Amino acid sequence: MNKIYLFMGYFLLQIQIPQGISRYCQEAVDHSESVGSCPTSKEEWEIAARNKNCSKIASQQNCSSAEKFQYHCVLNSYRNETLEVCAPSRIIFGHCVEFNLQGGVIQDQYASPCNDTFPKCDKYYNSSTAYKCNVVIHITLKYNSCHSCH
Burial of 48 from C-beta contacts in 10 A (0-12 / 13-18 / 19+)? middle
> What would the pLDDT profile of 20-79 be if each residue is shown by its tens digit?
446 899 999 999 999 988 888 899 999 999 999 999 989 889 899 999 999 999 989 888
Q: What is the pLDDT of residue 48?
A: 96
Do the Cβ atoms of 104 and 61 come closer than 8 Å? no
Q: What is the pLDDT of residue 19?
A: 43
Domain ranges of the chain: 2-148
Q: What is the mean pLDDT of the chain?
A: 78
Compute CA distances 130 → 4, 9, 25, 47, 75, whole Å: 23, 17, 20, 15, 10
- Rounded-to-integer distance, Cα 121 and Cα 22, Å: 22
SS (H, E, C) the chain: CHHHHHHHHHHHHHHHHHHCCCCCCHHHHHCCEEECCCCCCHHHHHHHHHHHCHHHHHCCCCCCCHHHEEEEEEEECCCCCEEEEEEECCEEECCEEEEECCCCEEEEECCCCHHHHCCCCCCEEEHHHHHHCCHHHHHHHHHHHHHHCC
